[in-house]
Amino acid sequence: MVDIGDATPVRAWQRRLILILLLAPALLWLFALIVLPHVQLALLSLRERVAPHVYQPSLAQFHTFFAEPLYWQVFVRTALLSIVATALTLLVAFPIAWVITKVARGRASALLFVVCLIPFWVSETVRALGWLILLRESGVLPALLVKLGLTAVPVELLYHDATILTGLVYTSLLFMVVPLVSSLESLDNSLIEAAYDLGASGFATLKNIVIPHAAPGITAGCIVVFMLTLGNYLTPNLLGGKNSQWFTELIYTQFIVRFNWEQGAAFGFLLLGLSTAIVAVGLRLSGQRFVDVMRRS
């Protein structure tokens, strides 16, 4: 019979050529759209305009951030609210992930999971519009409260921190439910049964068996939700109005409204730094690798 070896062997130079052709788009993408733009942003943030078209290296932009209370207060506020939103998302999502993986069975479980995912195929703009119609003073819920006799006049439910948090939790749920479901799915039911047979309380089982097992999913979900919340613009802006004071709004104002790119770039790096720092702390606390977490989520 014929030669069993490779019928048309790829020569070394051909393989090299293909490698270069495959590397080109990847390098072009990552350098032209990710690496170099961030280098440019860093350079922008580290200079100061001393006269029209004359710039000199300086830390003035970062100095302004710390000197102006409004700026760093908004920064701290955004960070704290994002942490609260992440914790709330975990609290709301965990029972649902538990029902999907451990209580509901077969088709009911699959159906519930799909139903949980569907709202997130709809644009965030549409979901924000829904909340606006529900919560604003002339909206559905204030009218309902008056009808039920709970309030005398329609109350404004928009523009509170609680409104912003509700909107952020709503937007983030999916990113918590999915990693939780995949980590709870791999938890063997017989471990929970064993704990029950040995007389463990529900709380003890949760603390000693379920949470340690689900830790990777919890970390992945929290990291992704925190990052998305911190970088969100639409939801805090529309649901919080003038009271939202979200850090991304400061970046937008500096860049697009005031055209002060140096200051905006510095704000951008502060946000990026915060996001990276929290992710790093989360990874260290749970002892996981970045690549694994991103793959998981």
Could you tell me which of 242, 243, 260 has the C-alpha nearest to residue 251?
260
Question: Considering only residues 56, 186, 208, 276, which one is a binding residue for another protein as defined by CB under 8 A?
Answer: 276
Could you tell me which of 220, 106, 239 has the C-alpha nearest to residue 169?
239
Q: Does 35 bind another protein (CB under 8 A)?
A: yes
List the beta bridge partners of residue 55: 49
Question: Considering only residues 37, 56, 258, 281, which one is a binding residue for another protein as defined by CB under 8 A?
Answer: 37
Structure token digits, residue 54? 């004359």
Q: Least Å distance between CB 58 and another protein? A: 17
Q: Does 238 bind another protein (CB under 8 A)?
A: yes
- Per DSSP, the residues of 205-240 read HIIIIIHHHHHHHHHHHHHHHHHHHHT--HHHHHHH
Q: Does 278 bind another protein (CB under 8 A)?
A: no
Query: Rounded to an integer, what distance in angstroms lies between the CA atom of residue 161 and that of residue 272?
Result: 23
Question: Considering only residues 165, 168, 220, 265, which one is a binding residue for another protein as defined by CB under 8 A?
Answer: 265
Structure token digits, residue 194? 């064993």
Structure token digits, residue 28? 């072009």
Question: Considering only residues 234, 260, 283, 288, which one is a binding residue for another protein as defined by CB under 8 A?
Answer: 234
Residue among 126 and 162 whose Cβ is closer to another protein: 126
| 73: Cα within 13 Å, side-chain hemisphere | 6
Q: Does 183 bind another protein (CB under 8 A)?
A: no
CA distances, 29 to each of 18, 32, 176, 275 (Å): 18, 6, 29, 23
Q: Least Å distance between CB 161 and another protein? A: 18
Size of the site for another protein (CB under 8 A): 100
Query: Rounded to an integer, what distance in angstroms lies between the CA atom of residue 87 and that of residue 238?
Result: 22
Could you tell me which of 235, 215, 192, 216 has the C-alpha nearest to residue 78?
235
Q: Does 103 bind another protein (CB under 8 A)?
A: yes
Q: Least Å distance between CB 66 and another protein? A: 20
Question: Considering only residues 84, 96, 209, 283, which one is a binding residue for another protein as defined by CB under 8 A?
Answer: 96
Residue among 86 and 275 whose Cβ is closer to another protein: 275
Q: Least Å distance between CB 196 and another protein? A: 5
Q: Binding to another protein (CB under 8 A): which residues in 119-178?
A: 119-134, 136, 138-140, 143, 170-171, 173-175, 178
